Structure 1
Amino acid sequence: MTIPEPIKEFITWIQGFDHRILRNEDDVKEKLILPMFHYLCYPEKCHREYPLKISKSEKYGKNPENSHIYYIQDDIQQENTGTSLVFIKVIEPQKAKLNDSIEKCKFYINQFNPLFFIVTNGYIIKVFKCLDYSKKELVFDINIDDLKDKNIASIFYNQLNFDFVKDIGKNTANILINSKYNLIEKLIRHHPDLHDVLEKSDFEPCTTRDGYRLVVVRKKVAIACNLPKAFAEGNCEIEFSSLVLRGLKIYLNHQDILGQLMTGLHTQPDWGCRRFFKQLNKNTFEVYLGKTTLILSELETADLCFCIDGVCQEYKNLIIEFENALETWSFEFVKLSDSWGFILFSVKQELWELMQQFANEFDYTKGKSEWHLFHRKDISIRVSRGIRDHTFILPKIDIKLDLSLDNQINIIYELNDVNLKSIETGKLTLWKQDIGVKGTWTARYTKQWLLEKYIPKVINYYSASQLSQAELLANITNYTSERVLITEIDNIRDLAPYLRDIQSWLHIYVENIAAALLKPYYQAYANLVRNTDSSITGIDYIIGNLRKVEWTNKQEEITNNFTEWKNLTFKHAIDCLDEQVARINNCKYENSLKADLITRTFIWIIENGKISFSQAQLNAAKQALLPLWEQSRFEMRYVYPNR
């Protein structure tokens, strides 16, 4: 077999190395460790050197002992226990026993949490694989002469080269506990008396809330969460009580919480509705939390789901509550450098410049008229009555617009620390009292005020401008479609845009969906379209979708039976829908592809059919649609952008 070139270079170097040239610790570093890791393909920029204390209570001496750490990346800001790869301790060449140094370094190994720990005196090399926070596995205990053997050198290279180690990551490192975990589980099942011993280490279940700090604890799992204030980002930390995982703390940021944990809330672990784990067998689950992968028992998984449900439901509620209060759902969300915002509409650059000019002239420090409302801060405009801030608007060039609309400026409804200052820790409802015409303006009211009052005032004030009022107003682009609210719909076709939103969500939704959410939806819309004129076009499309629900596994069956569909009527479509309603009433969860196909069917019938329906049927359809659409709206806004 041909030996890869990097391994050849490593073998050539190690076979030419003479350990007798080493005189001190610096020699071991400069002549062995640094060249060795160069040939193991570790980037020089990923290397760091740290002075060590013997213990936490001691100070650094004049000549402190040093350790060397290689990280997965060279960004010093990102160096932490999640990115450390190899921890190396070099000692004097004359020291033949390495055990003392190994013992002294335990504190630092636990602190840096590397994948591998190496100690060497320049001749003897000991390599440990770090399985968890307290256990180490000795994988190499060799000397330089042994390492010069071509086969041993190849094995050493394959186990410790940079590309291999960085791909292990913390995921594989945590999976290494699987065999030990399974052994413990078997012992517990065969020795029931061990339950009493293990239960003493369980957490005390509780749920506590202090302002924006929420802690949910079950026997096996505890989650402490910093909930999001407005659109600011929250985070959480997860701990486990089991002997295997005790001491492990998993930190999840805002993106992790939204992108991993938020789907499938309040569903059973074995339903396949949650994104962050998969079932390995009846009693075991593989769980993905951030960049960490764990193997958990059925009980641990159930407790984890319970804690996640408690934390994520409140996390989600706060985000929804804030968007509802500020009426921002209808506008596109944008993350700015140090704030958040929503696109209200866009205007020609010339109009934006006039808006800024007017704001400068009518700064609230320059007069007391009803229009002295403004204060400029950089490029944004602050609308205020003294200390009472109403709203902040910010310009942003829209690079997505058609080139024919060059110099078009998006008007952003901005949220920053200034106009969110009324949100105080421990007073979760106080900020709501500030929302309104005389307080903090909502996005909807801000847009209305800008279009109906401010912009007409600006245009009229600068009527001598080269551009006419008609030209300026004609270049205002409104991005939000003014839909009829679901609760106010009386025309059946007004349901279609909402159904399309749901269908788009289902199309990218890879998990199963709790059947409880879909049962009233399937039933209500099957009833709503039941009395559709049989002359509806596209009957083959309708039947095709419904057959695909039944034949999701065999595409050839769909093709072979296409001719048969030509002879089917709309009555057959209703019979198929009724079968789906009956089926889901006996299910705990539904495949998202099936829900997607059924929704496509409802959309087609509503948009193309002549439907006779009662007010009761329409009301039931609206009632069933609302929770499903609100979930799709939230996840499309917050979950899927964070995947």
Structure 2
Amino acid sequence: MTIPESIKQFITWIQGFDHRLLRNEDDVKQKLIFPMLHYLCYPEKCHREYPLKTSKSGKYGKNPEMAQIYYTTDDIDEQNTDTSIIFVVTIEPQKTKLNDAIEQAKFYSNHFKTLFFIVSNGYEIKVFKRLHYHREESLFEINIDALRNNDIASEFYNQLNFHLVKNIDKNTATNFIYTKYNLIEKFIRRYPDLQDVLEKSDFEPSITQEGYRLVVVKPKVAIACNLPKAFGEGNCEIEFSSIILRGLKIYLNHQDILGQLMTGLHSQADWGCRRFFKRLDKNNFEVYLGQTTLILSELEAVDLCLCIDGVCQEYKNLIIEFENALETWNFELVKFSETRGFILFSVRQELWDLMQQFANEFDYTKGKSEWHLFHRKDISIRVSRGIRDHTFLLPRIDRDLYLLPNNQINIIYELNDVNLQSIEISKFTLWQQDIGVRGTWTARYTKQWLLEKYIPKVINYYSGKSQLSEAELLAKITNYTSDRVFIKEIEHIRDLAPYLRDIQSWLHIDVENIVASLLKPYYQAYTNLVRNTDSSIIGIDYIIGNLRKVEWKNTQEGNPSNSTDWTNLTFKHAMDCLDEQVARINNCEYEISLKADLITRTFIWIIENGKISFSQAQLNAAKQALLPLWEQSRFEMRHVYPNR
């Protein structure tokens, strides 16, 4: 058979190559890799170099290593992760162990999403196929002497030449793996005896917790989680027992857990409430965990959901518990310059300067009076008795955000590691005993103490020295407080509206569906609450319009309510429609977010614009149904969605 001219040229070049001339890593790159890829027909303009971040902080070293990447296009604007095809790592010829370089290439190949990665020391050449985050497949592990063989060189060329590789569809590659795994799954099901053997390798289900270490195990999946301490960050590791995924470990950090796993708890994989699941067919799901994409069987998906529910519910409970204990919910959470805290209020810069000056003068090492309880470090103020730390205060100094309009500075209740040092792994609940006036101050108490005691004391102490009067200093305190009534204390129906608006804003976020159990009591209670509304309410067109969209969505799903003539409708028809939605959701496992949004808009309009006759029992039921739904929206808007 005639060998194509391009392969002949590749063979001629490799047979004339002398690896003994290579002296350093740059020689490997310049004299082996670049010519090899040239003879494999890769255009020079399709090649780019990038410095690799080598430090833990993500910064470049003094002489950073360079990533060699080849793309399908020579257009720089289009050279991205969609068009990347080969990542290359070269090492010095003297190094015979390539394991570290392979791990590095694997990591960066995943980052740049190339199809292949190549590692070479100038004599040995290792080529791996990377298929959409699944474990890599070794294509070639050869040396230069072996590559001189005509057949091996031809195979090498036929699998790696530019004209072939550039036309590989990354999605097709993923489908290939999915098809292969699906065939294996079907094969196992055809032979019950083999399935019995494989099931013996399943994990032993268990739930164990020691301090902040929680391990949840189901037959197909195991998750070991380091739970968050106070407002610290946790992480987890996921493993699978199946023969296909055995040995794979997926590490997720705090942001991954909150941003990916936390929504849709206690829902099934096919309900569309968990954003990291995608159904492929009746028996298989595509799952996105951190930077890894997997194909899971239905059984594996079920066990993964159960494990996530166990871990994330406890993870969520701890965060909520910390916020409740430190009374921080009513303050804005901010993160800047590796600092976390809550904005209490803002003051003039002149007042903050006096507060710092007072803290410096009344350092706890300088006296024994009741006010000698401070210690300054840089610009922060530590309120302490020397042994017992009460609170840490910090101005917001994030570049342009340091000074607010009108020369104002935000005072931050800082979550300082020193302040949380009583949290010990061996004593899981010890931190709770330290919260209080004599221990760690809550955000609410800190704010109260600053406004009622500390600031008046500072102003009085420097009254003769400051250029500003007491009235001028106090007039510029911006107090960030909510004027809404707490849900349990609501007596007037319109006080419910701000909370409903919070829920309506939450429903705009990108989760397609919501677990119906959250909404069933809510729909029922608010339909009953607005039932006796004066029929002369304004905006009946708006109400009917929203409910008509809900009805249209039901029809699109093939689940229409009673056929409705949408012309000349009254408020009675609106109530009939709301009653239909209550009946419908009681038979649903999940609800489309858009429907819940439209129904919530309807409730808000009626409450704000209608004259409603209601009983105390109806109002109490409405408050009771609202609280868990609003707390869910508050948690996710604060902790989940900022991490996406």
If the TM-score is normalised by the length of the shorter chain, which range does it land in? 0.7 to 0.9
Partner of 1:24: 20
Partner of 1:212: 212
Q: Is the 8 A contact 1:227 1:315 kept in 2?
A: yes
Q: Is the 8 A contact 2:49 2:69 kept in 1?
A: no
Q: Is the 8 A contact 1:502 1:632 kept in 2?
A: yes
Partner of 1:594: 595
Distance in 2 (alpha carbons) for counterparts of 1:126 and 1:386: 60
CA distance 1:71–1:317, change in 2 (3 Å): farther
Distance in 1 (alpha carbons) for counterparts of 2:404 and 2:412: 21
Write the letter of the residue equivalent to 1:216: V
Q: Secondary structure at the match of 1:599?
A: helix
Higher mean Cα deviation, 295-304 or 370-379?
370-379
Q: Is the 8 A contact 1:264 1:514 kept in 2?
A: yes
Structure 1 residue 197 displacement after superposition? 1.2
Write the letter of the residue equivalent to 2:436: G
Partner of 1:453: 453
Structure 1 residue 46 displacement after superposition? 4.9
Write the letter of the residue equivalent to 2:611: K
Matched ranges for 1:354-369 at <5 A: 354-369=354-369
Partner of 2:344: 344
Higher mean Cα deviation, 404-413 or 310-319?
404-413
Matched ranges for 1:224-263 at <5 A: 224-263=224-263
CA distance 1:401–1:155, change in 2 (3 Å): closer
CA distance 1:440–1:128, change in 2 (3 Å): closer
- Work out which of the residue numbers 135, 138, 143 in structure 2 matches 1:136: 138
Q: Is the 8 A contact 1:22 1:122 kept in 2?
A: no
Partner of 1:508: 509
CA distance 1:200–1:40, change in 2 (3 Å): farther
Structure 1 residue 624 displacement after superposition? 0.3
Partner of 1:423: 423
Write the letter of the residue equivalent to 2:431: W
Write the letter of the residue equivalent to 1:532: T
Write the letter of the residue equivalent to 1:218: K
Q: Is the 8 A contact 2:105 2:117 kept in 1?
A: no
Partner of 2:58: none
**What are the superposed Cα offsets for residues 545-589 of structure 1, whole Å, 9 maximum, x if unpaired?**
11111113999xxxxxxxx86732111111111111011011110
Distance in 1 (alpha carbons) for counterparts of 2:149 and 2:30: 16
Instruction: Mark the runs of 5 or more structure 1 residues left unpaired by the alignment.
Output: 1-9, 50-66, 73-82, 93-100, 556-563
CA distance 1:84–1:348, change in 2 (3 Å): farther
Write the letter of the residue equivalent to 1:600: R
Distance in 2 (alpha carbons) for counterparts of 1:621 and 1:268: 28
Partner of 1:545: 546
Partner of 1:561: none
Matched ranges for 1:176-575 at <5 A: 177-397=177-397, 405-464=405-464, 465-552=466-553, 567-575=568-576
Higher mean Cα deviation, 124-133 or 455-464?
124-133
Structure 1 residue 122 displacement after superposition? 7.9
**What are the superposed Cα offsets for residues 384-420 of structure 1, whole Å, 9 maximum, x if unpaired?**
1231111111011588989993321000000111100
CA distance 1:583–1:553, change in 2 (3 Å): closer
The aligned length equals 583
CA distance 1:476–1:36, change in 2 (3 Å): farther
Distance in 1 (alpha carbons) for counterparts of 2:552 and 2:568: 19
Structure 1 residue 498 displacement after superposition? 0.7
Q: Secondary structure at the match of 2:337?
A: coil
Q: Is the 8 A contact 2:125 2:141 kept in 1?
A: no
Structure 1 residue 508 displacement after superposition? 1.4
**What are the superposed Cα offsets for residues 429-484 of structure 1, whole Å, 9 maximum, x if unpaired?**
11001111111110011111111111112112222222122211111112231321
TM score, norm. by length of structure 2: 0.81
Distance in 1 (alpha carbons) for counterparts of 2:353 and 2:93: 68
Q: Secondary structure at the match of 1:184?
A: helix
CA distance 1:451–1:339, change in 2 (3 Å): same
Q: Secondary structure at the match of 2:507?
A: helix
Q: Is the 8 A contact 1:123 1:143 kept in 2?
A: no
Q: Is the 8 A contact 2:333 2:343 kept in 1?
A: yes
Q: Secondary structure at the match of 1:189?
A: helix
Partner of 2:77: none
Distance in 1 (alpha carbons) for counterparts of 2:86 and 2:419: 40
CA distance 1:598–1:119, change in 2 (3 Å): closer
Write the letter of the residue equivalent to 2:486: L
Q: Secondary structure at the match of 1:576?
A: helix
CA distance 1:489–1:187, change in 2 (3 Å): same
Write the letter of the residue equivalent to 2:267: T
Write the letter of the residue equivalent to 1:460: N
Write the letter of the residue equivalent to 1:239: E
Partner of 1:605: 606
Distance in 2 (alpha carbons) for counterparts of 1:400 and 1:579: 53
Distance in 1 (alpha carbons) for counterparts of 2:385 and 2:120: 70
Higher mean Cα deviation, 512-521 or 401-410?
401-410
Q: Is the 8 A contact 2:266 2:309 kept in 1?
A: yes
Q: Is the 8 A contact 1:392 1:415 kept in 2?
A: yes
Q: Secondary structure at the match of 2:420?
A: coil
Question: Aligned-residue CA RMSD in angstroms?
Answer: 3.9
Write the letter of the residue equivalent to 1:363: D
CA distance 1:88–1:352, change in 2 (3 Å): closer
Distance in 1 (alpha carbons) for counterparts of 2:434 and 2:537: 52
Distance in 2 (alpha carbons) for counterparts of 1:419 and 1:489: 35
Higher mean Cα deviation, 104-113 or 371-380?
104-113
Higher mean Cα deviation, 139-148 or 291-300?
139-148
Structure 1 residue 71 displacement after superposition? 7.8
Partner of 2:627: 626
Distance in 2 (alpha carbons) for counterparts of 1:459 and 1:633: 37
TM score, norm. by length of structure 1: 0.81
Write the letter of the residue equivalent to 1:278: K
Partner of 1:52: none
CA distance 1:301–1:535, change in 2 (3 Å): same
Q: Secondary structure at the match of 2:553?
A: coil
| Residue 615, structure 1, aligned to residue 620, structure 2 | no
Q: Is the 8 A contact 2:286 2:294 kept in 1?
A: yes
Structure 1 residue 238 displacement after superposition? 0.6
Structure 1 residue 261 displacement after superposition? 0.4
Matched ranges for 1:107-122 at <5 A: 109=102, 113=106, 116=116, 118=118
Instruction: Work out the percentage of aligned pairs sharing the same amino acid.
Output: 73
Structure 1 residue 339 displacement after superposition? 3.2
Write the letter of the residue equivalent to 1:494: D
Distance in 2 (alpha carbons) for counterparts of 1:422 and 1:119: 49
Distance in 2 (alpha carbons) for counterparts of 1:90 and 1:436: 61
Q: Secondary structure at the match of 2:396?
A: strand
Q: Secondary structure at the match of 1:24?
A: helix
Q: Is the 8 A contact 1:129 1:139 kept in 2?
A: no
Distance in 2 (alpha carbons) for counterparts of 1:407 and 1:249: 51
Distance in 2 (alpha carbons) for counterparts of 1:47 and 1:411: 39
Q: Is the 8 A contact 2:511 2:593 kept in 1?
A: yes
Q: Is the 8 A contact 2:19 2:122 kept in 1?
A: no
Q: Is the 8 A contact 2:396 2:402 kept in 1?
A: no
Q: Is the 8 A contact 1:47 1:70 kept in 2?
A: no
CA distance 1:444–1:188, change in 2 (3 Å): same
CA distance 1:376–1:88, change in 2 (3 Å): closer
Write the letter of the residue equivalent to 1:346: S
Structure 1 residue 30 displacement after superposition? 3.4
Structure 1 residue 142 displacement after superposition? 7.6
Write the letter of the residue equivalent to 2:314: E
Distance in 1 (alpha carbons) for counterparts of 2:592 and 2:447: 40
| Residue 635, structure 1, aligned to residue 640, structure 2 | no
Partner of 1:7: none
Write the letter of the residue equivalent to 2:30: E
